[in-house]
Amino acid sequence: MSLTTFLIQCLNSLQYGLLLFLVASGLTLIFGIMGVINLAHGSFYMIGAYMAFALSPIVATTLGGGFFSVLMVGVVLAILLGYALEWIFYSYLYEREHLQQVLMTYGLILVFEELRSLLVGDDVHGVQAPEILSGTLPLGDLMTYPVYRIFISAVCMVLALGMYLVFTRTRLGMMIRAGSANREMVQSLGIDIQFLYRVVFAAGVALAAFAGMVAAPVSSVYPGMGGSVLIICFVVVVIGGIGSIRGALLAALLIGFVDTFGKVLLPQAAGVLVYVLMAVILLWKPDGLFKAG
Amino acid sequence: MKPKVVFVLASFVALALYPLVAASFGIDLITKVMIFSIVALSLELLVGGTGLVCFGQAAFFGIGAYVAVLLSPQDGPASVAWLLPAAMLAAAGYAMAVGALSLRTRGVYFIMVTLAFAQMAYYVVHDTPLGGGTDGIYLMMKPVLGERIDLDRPIILYFFTLFALILVFGFLSLLLRSRFGRALAGIRVNEQRMRATGFETYPYKLAAFTISGAIAGLGGFLFAVKDGFVNPELMSWHFSGSVLIMVILGGIGHLRGALIGAFAFAFLQEVFQSEAIFGAFAKHWHLGLGLAIIASVATLPNGLVGLPAQIRDRLIGRSSRRAQAEGMRG
Amino acid sequence: MKRSAIEPSGVPGKAAESGPLLRGREITQRWGGLIAVNQVSLEIARGSVHAVIGTNGAGKSTLVNILSGELAPTSGRVELMGQDVTGWSQPRRARAGLGRSYQRNTIYSSFSVLENCRLAAQARMPKPWAWWQDAQGCTHSTAAAHEAAERAGLAEVLDSKAGLLSHGQKRQLEIAMCLATAPQVLLLDEPLAGMGAEETERMLALLVDLKARHGILLVEHDMDAVFRVADCITVMVNGSVIASGTPDFVRQSPEVQVAYLGEQALEQI
What confidence tens digit (pLDDT) does each residue in A12-59 have?
999 999 999 999 998 988 888 888 899 999 999 999 999 988 888 887
Position B61 pLDDT exceeds 90: yes
Alpha-carbon gap, residue A24 to A157, rounded angstroms: 14
Q: Is C186 on the interface with B (CB under 8 A)?
A: no
The DSSP secondary-structure symbol of A125 reads B
For chain A, the domain total comes to 1
- Judge: B197–C132 Cβ closer than 8 Å, yes or no: no
Residues of A whose CB is below 8 A from B233: none
Q: Read off the pLDDT of residues B134-180 as tens digits, 9 standing for 90 and up.
A: 888 888 888 888 777 888 889 999 999 999 999 999 999 999 999 99
Question: Span C7-29, mean pLDDT?
Answer: 67
Q: Read off the pLDDT of residues A67-97 as tens digits, 9 standing for 90 and up.
A: 888 889 999 999 999 999 999 998 888 888 8
Q: Read off the pLDDT of residues B173-195 as tens digits, 9 standing for 90 and up.
A: 999 999 999 999 999 999 999 99
Alpha-carbon gap, residue B125 to B93, rounded angstroms: 17
**Phi, psi for C188 (deg, rounded to 5):** -110, 115
Question: Span A188-205, mean pLDDT?
Answer: 85
Min mean pLDDT across A164-178, B13-27, B59-73 is at A164-178
pLDDT band at B213 (very low <50, low <70, confident <90, very high): very high
Q: How confident is the model at residue B320, as a pLDDT?
A: 44
Quote the pTM value.
0.89
Give strand ranges (E) for B181-260. 229-230
Position A205 pLDDT exceeds 70: yes
In a domain, A29, yes or no: yes
Alpha-carbon gap, residue B62 to B77, rounded angstroms: 21
Alpha-carbon gap, residue C17 to C169, rounded angstroms: 35
User: Residues 206-245, chain B: which have Cβ within 8 Å of C?
Assistant: 207
User: Residues 75-94, chain C: which have Cβ within 8 Å of B?
Assistant: 89-92, 94
Degrees to nearest 5, angle at CA C50 with C116 and C16:
85
In a domain, A292, yes or no: no
Residues of B whose CB is below 8 A from A37: 108, 111-112
Q: How confident is the model at residue A64, as a pLDDT?
A: 72
Q: Is the CB of residue A209 less than 8 Å from the CB of residue A201? A: no
Go through B163-176 and write b for each residue having 16 or more CB atoms within 10 A of its CB, e for each that does not. Answer: ebbbebbebbbbbb
List chain C domain ranges.
18-97+184-269, 108-182
Min mean pLDDT across A126-130, B308-312, C21-25, C158-162 is at A126-130
Which of B286, B302, B322 to mutate to probe the A interface, most A CBs <10 Å? B286
Question: Span B238-257, mean pLDDT?
Answer: 94
- Identify the CA nearest to C100 among candidates B184, B194, B182: B194
Q: Is the CB of residue B294 less than 8 Å from the CB of residue A104? A: yes
Q: Is the CB of residue C157 less than 8 Å from the CB of residue B206? A: no
Q: Read off the pLDDT of residues B112-124 as tens digits, 9 standing for 90 and up.
A: 999 999 999 998 8
Q: Give B104's strand partners.
A: none
In a domain, A290, yes or no: no
Q: How confident is the model at residue C7, as a pLDDT?
A: 56
Alpha-carbon gap, residue A47 to A29, rounded angstroms: 19
Q: How confident is the model at residue A145, as a pLDDT?
A: 86
The length of chain C is: 269
Question: Which amino acid makes up residue C22?
Answer: L
Position A257 pLDDT exceeds 90: yes
Q: How confident is the model at residue C65, as a pLDDT?
A: 93
Domain span at residue A117? 3-284
Q: How confident is the model at residue B137, as a pLDDT?
A: 87
Q: Read off the pLDDT of residues C163-174 as tens digits, 9 standing for 90 and up.
A: 899 988 999 999
Alpha-carbon gap, residue C138 to C5, rounded angstroms: 13
With a pLDDT cut of 70, the percent of chain A lying above it is: 97
Chain-centre distance of CA A192, in angstroms? 26
Alpha-carbon gap, residue B114 to B127, rounded angstroms: 20
- Judge: C181–B198 Cβ closer than 8 Å, yes or no: yes
pLDDT band at B76 (very low <50, low <70, confident <90, very high): confident
Position B329 pLDDT exceeds 60: no
Question: Span C172-181, mean pLDDT?
Answer: 92
Q: Is C100 on the interface with B (CB under 8 A)?
A: yes
**B touches which chains (3+ CB pairs under 8 A)?**
A, C
Pick B116's closest partner by Cβ from A227, A268, A278.
A278
Q: How confident is the model at residue B80, as a pLDDT?
A: 86
Position C23 pLDDT exceeds 80: yes
Q: Is the CB of residue B142 less than 8 Å from the CB of residue B228? A: yes
pLDDT band at C5 (very low <50, low <70, confident <90, very high): low
Residues of B whose CB is below 8 A from C133: 178-179
Q: Is the CB of residue B199 less than 8 Å from the CB of residue C103? A: no
Domain span at residue B97? 3-237
Q: How confident is the model at residue B318, as a pLDDT?
A: 56
- Identify the CA nearest to C83 among candidates C73, C100, C97, C72: C97
DSSP A79-118: HHHHHHHHHHTGGGTTTS-HHHHHHHHHHHHHHHHHHHHH
Q: Read off the pLDDT of residues A96-148 as tens digits, 9 standing for 90 and up.
A: 888 999 999 999 999 999 999 988 888 888 888 877 777 888 777 777 888 88
Q: How confident is the model at residue C120, as a pLDDT?
A: 93
Question: Which residues, at least 6 apart from C105, have a Cβ–Cβ distance to it below 8 Å?
Answer: C170, C171, C173, C174
Pick B179's closest partner by Cβ from C108, C111, C130.
C130
In a domain, A110, yes or no: yes
- Identify the CA nearest to A217 among candidates A45, A23, A67: A67
Degrees to nearest 5, angle at CA A38 with A33 and A43:
130
User: ipTM of this predicted complex?
Assistant: 0.88
Q: Residue by residue, what is the 3-state secondary structure of chain C?
A: CCCCCCCCCCCHHHHCCCCCCEEEEEEEEEECCEEEEEEEEEEECCCCEEEEEECCCCCHHHHHHHHHCCCCCCEEEEEECCEECCCCCHHHHHHCCEEEECCCCCCCCCCEHHHHHHHHHHCCCCCCCCCCCEHHHCHHHHHHHHHHHHHCCCHHHCCCEHHHCCHHHHHHHHHHHHHCCCCCEEEEECCCCCCCHHHHHHHHHHHHHHHCCCEEEEECCCHHHHHHHCCEEEEEECCEEEEEECHHHHHHCHHHHHHHHHHHHHHHC
Q: Is C123 on the interface with B (CB under 8 A)?
A: yes
Residues of B whose CB is below 8 A from C122: 179, 182-183
User: Residues 82-141, chain B: which have Cβ within 8 Å of A?
Assistant: 101-102, 104-105, 107-109, 111-113, 115-117, 119-120, 123-124, 126-128
Topology (CATH) of C18-97+184-269: Rossmann fold (3.40.50)
Q: Is the CB of residue B251 less than 8 Å from the CB of residue B304? A: yes
- Identify the CA nearest to A281 among candidates A249, A237, A246: A237
The length of chain A is: 293
Q: How confident is the model at residue A293, as a pLDDT?
A: 39
Position A229 pLDDT exceeds 80: yes
Q: How confident is the model at residue B278, as a pLDDT?
A: 77
- Identify the CA nearest to A26 among candidates A182, A176, A179, A201: A201
pLDDT band at C10 (very low <50, low <70, confident <90, very high): very low
Alpha-carbon gap, residue A32 to B291, rounded angstroms: 27
β-strand pairing of C34-44 with C22-31: antiparallel
Position C6 pLDDT exceeds 70: no
Q: How confident is the model at residue B130, as a pLDDT?
A: 75
Q: Is the CB of residue C8 less than 8 Å from the CB of residue C183? A: yes
What's the sign of the alpha-carbon dihedral C16, C21, C26, C27?
A: positive
Alpha-carbon gap, residue A11 to A3, rounded angstroms: 12
In a domain, B123, yes or no: yes
- Give counts: helices (H), strands (E), chain B: 13, 4
Which of B110, B239, B294 to mutate to probe the A interface, most A CBs <10 Å? B294
Position B240 pLDDT exceeds 80: yes
Neighbours of B140 (CB within 10 A): 13
pLDDT band at C263 (very low <50, low <70, confident <90, very high): low
**A touches which chains (3+ CB pairs under 8 A)?**
B
Distances (CA, A) of B19 to A258, B13, B37, B150, B236: 54, 11, 18, 17, 31
- Judge: A114–B286 Cβ closer than 8 Å, yes or no: yes
- Identify the CA nearest to C136 among candidates C151, C119, C148, C149: C119
Question: Span C217-238, mean pLDDT?
Answer: 89
The H-assigned helical ranges of chain A are 3-34, 41-62, 67-88, 98-120, 147-169, 171-181, 183-188, 193-215, 225-240, 245-265, 270-284
Listed as own residue / partner, the contacts of B79-82 with beta carbons closer than 8 Å and 24 or more positions apart are: B79/B143, B79/B144, B79/B145, B79/B146, B80/B143, B80/B144, B80/B145, B80/B149, B80/B151, B81/B145, B81/B146
Alpha-carbon gap, residue B158 to B151, rounded angstroms: 9
| Averaged pLDDT score across all residues of chain A | 87
What's the sign of the alpha-carbon dihedral B128, B131, B137, B141?
A: positive
Position C204 pLDDT exceeds 50: yes
Position B67 pLDDT exceeds 90: yes
- B24 burial via Cβ count (<10 Å: 0-12, 13-18, 19+): exposed
Nearest CA in chain B to A275: B120
pLDDT band at A272 (very low <50, low <70, confident <90, very high): confident
Alpha-carbon gap, residue C234 to C232, rounded angstroms: 7
Position B323 pLDDT exceeds 50: no
Q: How confident is the model at residue A183, as a pLDDT?
A: 67
Q: How confident is the model at residue C11, as a pLDDT?
A: 41
**Phi, psi for A221 (deg, rounded to 5):** -100, 110
Position C15 pLDDT exceeds 80: no
| Averaged pLDDT score across all residues of chain C | 85
Q: Is the CB of residue A275 less than 8 Å from the CB of residue A20? A: no
